[in-house]
Structure 1
């Protein structure tokens, strides 16, 4: 562990002109006293590291000194695809490995390219989770990720939306997907490829059975097809809605993208007062009710009659509450 830290310090010194003990301590998550001891060790090992005192001081290497420490380990090379997603790397237990890989890549770059890479990192940040929601706890994520990488089958209890809610699944894990801050497992189960939300996995067990990976599987292509079919299965019914012009224009911000696209595609031409009708895709009356209430007074449910009655009851109760 200490040898790895000393290497990280040396790489940091090679990528920056000067680094303070406090900056090194924060980067490496150790105390300043530990940094002092590490610097003494580097100096004793013949590394030409110098400390400049004062407000603008810090540690630096002798000009022109370069140590050939930037060969990536296997784990670091494999983790580079997560370099732009620090939160995802942390979720998978690869945060420290990604940091080490980035340091080695940066130290291998010539100064002008290193400066450009540094400016990109300072100006662009990727944040995967969506607004107004928090990522769900995923206690089994690192175990699932390890099984995906090492191609080992999994058995787990899984909480479904449909009945029965709790089922036991054995699957050959094929890949992981991060969608709006939530992790999903793509796996081969019961002669077909299925998708599991990792936060709903319970009592996970890694099996010794090897995984037979389909040779033509593209995880990105599968996920795109899955999302399309998911929306089709989820929105298996529709309601007829009359909207004013303002509400119609705001559909993309009021509904999820799939529902908004379907609603706008079905819209009639506006009448003389600007009203138009749409087919509003719904999964069930219970799930449709909050979405329809979000549209406000600019929307009126025309059909089906039971849903219109539910809306009338709900809005009447709301009116009584505010009377």
Structure 2
């Protein structure tokens, strides 16, 4: 642990030029006294660094000195691929490795390239989760990720939407996918499971082999295509005001109301979606959806008339 901290301290000084003992302590999450000891250890090992006293003082490396300790460990290499999603890396237990990997990557870059990387980080941010609702807790995510990496089968108790709602199943975890802030496990079958719906998990001492023709990206693309195909199985004929057409993404007519045929998942789902449009939509077909919306409108009118 201390060797890793010494390397991180050295890379911090190389990257930022000058840092006080307090700043280094905050970065390394140690005491100032520990920083003093680490600096002494680096100096004893022949690293050309020195301290400057005063308000603008701190530790820095001799001008022109650059370390070649930029090789990535296995965890750091994995974390580097998640650099755009630091939250995901932290959930997988790779947050510290990601921070160290970034330092090592920066240390390996020339000054001009480091400046360009800084500008990108300042001006672009990827925030994957959706707006509404907090992320569901995933207490078994780290264990699942470990099983995926080690190619070990797991025994899990899982909650699903259809009966029986809770099942116990042995699965071979092929890979993990982060979609809209939610983690999914792709397993043998292939089947897909929401990681936040895993109630209990036991890692088994059973290795498995992923089929040679399996591709996680291709499997997930097929899963999404199937989902979309099953999502909108019907259509509704509607009339829309200009505002309703805008909100549904339909090209508005020039003379006010626009008639359009739009895909719907089901009467129940479409009922909720069209209620959001209020008076900006009139459903013409199917008759079951029109009747359902009319009944809801009568109920609301009576309630607010009181």
Closer, same or farther in 2 for the Cα pair 1:274/1:314, shift >3 Å?
closer
Give the secondary-structure state (helix, strand or coil) at the position aligned to 2:87: helix
Tell me the alpha carbon deviations over residues 235-263 of structure 1, each in whole angstroms, 9 at most, x when there is no partner: 334433322232112225xxxxxxxxxxx
For the Cα contact (< 8 Å) 2:135–2:181, is it kept in 1?
yes
Question: Which residue pairs with 1:138 in the alignment?
Answer: 138
Q: 1:281 aligns with which of 259, 264, 283?
A: 264
CA contact 2:138–2:196 (8 Å) conserved in 1: yes
Find the partner of 1:309 among 288, 291, 302: 291
* Counterpart pick for 1:214 among 211, 214, 239: 211
Could you tell me whether the CA contact under 8 Å between 2:8 and 2:103 is conserved in 1? yes
TM-score (norm 2): 0.90
Q: Contact 1:241/1:280 (CA < 8 Å) preserved in 2?
A: no
Question: How far is the alpha carbon of 1:272 from its aligned partner?
Answer: 4.7
Instruction: Tell me how far apart the structure 2 counterparts of residues 119 and 33 of structure 1 sit (CA, whole Å).
Output: 34
Give the equivalent residue in structure 2 for 1:223.
220
Q: Which position in structure 1 is the counterpart of 2:182?
A: 182
| Distance (whole Å) between structure 1 residues aligned to residue 296 and residue 37 of structure 2 | 68
In 1: Cα distance, 2:30 partner to 2:300 partner: 56
Which residue in 2 is equivalent to 1:203? 200
CA distance in 2, matches of 1:274, 1:284: 23
Q: TM-score, normalised by structure 1?
A: 0.86
Structure-2 residue corresponding to 1:318: 300
RMSD over equivalenced CA pairs, Å: 2.2
Aligned partner (choices 227, 232, 235) of residue 232 of structure 2 = 235
Q: Which runs of 5+ in 1 are unaligned?
A: 253-263
CA shift in 2, pair 1:284/1:158, >3 Å: farther
Structure 2, unaligned stretches of length 5 or more? none
Cα distance in 1 between the residues matched to 2:58 and 2:297: 66
Partner in structure 1 of residue 36 of structure 2: 36
Give the structure 2 partner of residue 98 of structure 1: 98
Q: Give the direction of change, closer, same or farther, for the CA distance of 1:293–1:43 in structure 2 (3 Å limit).
A: same
- Cα 1:279–1:114 change in 2 (3 A) is closer
